[in-house]
Amino acid sequence: MKPTDKINLPKDFWFGAAASAPQTEGAAQIDGKSPSTWDMWHTLEPERFDQAMGPNVTSDVYHHYRDDVKRMQAMKLNSYRTSIAWTRLLPDGNTLNPKAVTFYRDYFKAMREGGIEPVINLFHFDMPWWLMEKGGWEYEGVSDAFAYYAQVCVETFGDLVTYWTTFNEPIVHVECSYLYGYHYPAIHDFKKAIHAGYQTILAHAKAIQAMRMVNPNLKLGTILNLTPVYGKSDHIADRKAQEAADLLNTKSFLDGMVLGRFSEPLLDLLREHDLIPDTNDDDLEIISKVKLDFIGVNYYQPRRVQAPVKATYPAQDPKDLYIPYTWPKRRMNPYRGWEIYPEALTDIATLIKEDYHNIPWYLSENGMGVADEMRFVDENGTIQDDYRIEFIYDHLSVLEQAIADGANCFGYHLWTFVDCWSWLNGYRNRYGFYRVDLKTQKRYPKQSSFWMRDVIEHHQKGGE
Ligand code: BGP
């Protein structure tokens, strides 16, 4: 097993875990919550979900949060990210649900009292159904509705939560809804995807503005999946493919949400393919005023691309600009089908340092989903997840070096704390420090939770 006393990270480094409301809370149909698009889609088309499992039950954190927080304490975690369900807090978009206020206040208070910094995200792919019926990200009122929700969140919980983020991986709800068919409405329209991306960036800017007005002392940020793009070769066509993938997937949201502007190369690419969304000067002005205190970086796997062999012009789909490339030397997590490449964290750190003013950041999601983990259970009921320990160790080691080289990285959160529900894979791949038995909802620590606790203890002792 990997050593627990070899990793040395800065004082006050965040050790924690991440999750989201829709993937953990359950209680989807009680206490005044209105349906999210996921709840509704699952009711309408359960066959689209792995083993027809939807977000209605999950790991029932709604009823288990107090004990879960105690488990976090036992592991010595000092921070935890989850999200608020918009549909629970404001079931119709306007009216505050008192039961949701009680639940979240109690949950956040429990974290605070346990010495765990709550990091609260506002939107984790979970569009309210009432808003989706108006058009979702295509509806012109979506950014104002989101800003109102953000304002209510900090008015209601700002005394308990200092760290807030607007979106988790905003590109995902865009590409999965409008290009790849994985999220509702599962349509294919490149232009609508770009428009939805722009609306998301505008919603982020309006939310940040609204939250700052309520309380200028909060720490505000967003969470992006910064997947470095590696081209197959130095051939000009592959380099062009790599640049397009980087502009569309990485720079678009980084520039728009962190710097408050869009780069000329991105605008040129969109113009060339007739993809420029409708904008107006007032909105661009709001976007340009955004200032963030930090960002979260979700990183699981690199993006490797090559030039398409055959492409439609102008592009009707990202695959007209770049296609995936399978690197022959790759190391894989075969269960999720994702490459394991911790070295990319060095490139992420350099990108943030050089192009984004070295804004403070933390690794807000990283982890390894593995199927059939009960294969590895020992006589004490503990899953011996050495593969996860190795995965975490390898990523923490690269982070340690990046920090020594000047990266402004202040934390590491594993996805996830207790095994949780996945949008596409139900409970097939398990990610948690804790296993959950879905029949009883009982939680059992995995070996990685003990290992991580020892890493944190070593850190707390000053790291010698
Ligand atoms: C991230 C999402 C999480 C989570 C994780 C694991 O991109 O932010 O919500 O789901 O990926 O992915 P999956 O559940 O598809 O295995």
Structure tokens at 248: 């569309």
pLDDT, position 463: 73
> Whose Cα sits closest to atom 4 in ligand 1?
422
Q: Name the residue of 363, 373, 423 to mutate for ligand 1: max ligand atoms within 8 A of Cβ.
A: 423
Residue from 175, 422, 430 whose mutation best tests the ligand 1 pocket (most atoms within 8 A of CB): 422
The C-alpha atoms of residue 278 and residue 201 are separated, in whole angstroms, by 13
413 lines ligand 1 (CB under 6 A): no
Q: Outline where DSSP puts E strands in 14-92.
A: 14-18, 79-83
Ligand 1 pocket member 419 (CB < 6 A): no
Q: Could you tell me if 150 and 166 are in contact, meaning their C-beta atoms sit under 8 angstroms apart?
A: yes
Q: What's the rounded Cα separation, in Å, for the pair 76 and 4?
A: 14
Do 424 and 182 form a contact (C-beta atoms < 8 A)?
yes
Answer yes or no: is the C-beta of 459 below 6 A from any ligand 1 atom. no
Element (H, E) at 432: none
Q: Sign of torsion, CA 190 191 194 200?
A: negative
Is 129's C-beta closer than 6 angstroms to any atom of ligand 1? no
The single-letter DSSP state of residue 327 is: -
- In this prediction, residue 420 carries a pLDDT of 98
CA of 282 to the centre of ligand 1 (A): 35
Of 25, 175, 243, 365, the catalytic one is 365
Considering only CA atoms, give the Rg of the chain. 21
CA atoms of 459 and 13, how far apart (whole Å) = 9
* C-beta of 83 in contact with ligand 1 (< 6 A): no
Token pair 């113009």: residue:
271
Helix, coil or strand: residue 338: strand
Quick one: which atom of ligand 1 is closest to the CA of 172?
Answer: 7
Q: Is the CB of 415 under 6 A from ligand 1?
A: yes
The reply to whether ligand 1 has any atom less than 6 angstroms from the CB of 365 is yes
| C-beta of 20 in contact with ligand 1 (< 6 A) | yes
Q: Which amino acid, 327? A: W
Q: Please state, in angstroms and as integers, the Cα–Cα distance from residue 43 to each residue in 23, 53, 78, 125, following that order.
A: 16, 10, 37, 17
> Which two structure tokens, joined as six digits, stand for 112?
């605070």
How far, CA to CA in Å, does 367 sit from each of 11, 396, 407? 23, 12, 21
By alpha-carbon position, which residue is closest to atom 6 of ligand 1?
422
Rounded Cα–Cα distance for residues 440 and 60 (Å): 11
Q: If you count them, how many residues does the chain have?
A: 464
| Alpha carbon of 422 to ligand 1 centroid (Å) | 6
CA 137 – CA 189 distance, rounded (Å): 13
Mutation choice for ligand 1 from 299, 415, 421, CB with most ligand atoms inside 8 A: 415
Task: Supply 437's token pair.
Answer: 């038995």
Q: Give the tokens for residue 443.
A: 């939680």
- The answer to whether the CB of 253 is under 6 A from ligand 1 is no
Q: Give the HSE-up count for residue 74: Cα atoms under 13 Å, Cβ half-sphere.
A: 13
The pLDDT assigned to 464 comes to 58
CA distance 64 to 437: 13
Residue whose pair of structure tokens reads 């490139």 in the numeric block: 347
Q: Is 169 a catalytic residue?
A: yes
List 25, 117, 169, 373, catalytic entry: 169
Q: State if residue 59 touches ligand 1 by the CB under 6 angstroms criterion.
A: no
Contact 393, 377 (CB under 8 A): no
Name the nearest CA neighbour of 226 among 311, 295, 157: 295
CA 20 / ligand 1 centre spacing (Å): 10
Q: What is the pLDDT along the chain (464 residues), one digit of tens a residue?
A: 899 999 999 999 999 999 999 999 999 999 999 999 999 999 999 999 999 999 998 999 999 999 999 999 999 999 999 999 999 999 999 999 999 999 999 999 999 999 999 999 999 999 999 999 999 999 999 999 999 999 999 999 999 999 999 999 999 999 999 999 999 999 999 999 999 999 999 999 999 999 999 999 999 999 999 999 999 999 999 999 999 999 999 999 999 999 999 999 999 999 999 999 999 999 999 999 999 999 999 999 999 999 999 999 999 999 999 999 999 999 999 999 999 999 999 999 999 999 999 999 999 999 999 999 999 999 999 999 999 999 999 999 999 999 999 999 999 999 999 999 999 999 999 999 999 999 999 999 999 999 999 999 999 998 75
Return the sign of the alpha-carbon dihedral for residues 172, 153, 93, 34.
positive
Determine whether the shortest distance from the Cβ of 55 to ligand 1 is under 6 A. Answer: no
Whether omega before 55 lies within 30 degrees of 0, making that bond cis, reads no
The ligand 1 atom nearest the CA atom of 422: 14
Closest residue CA from atom 7 of ligand 1: 169
DSSP 145-161: HHHHHHHHHHHHHTTT-
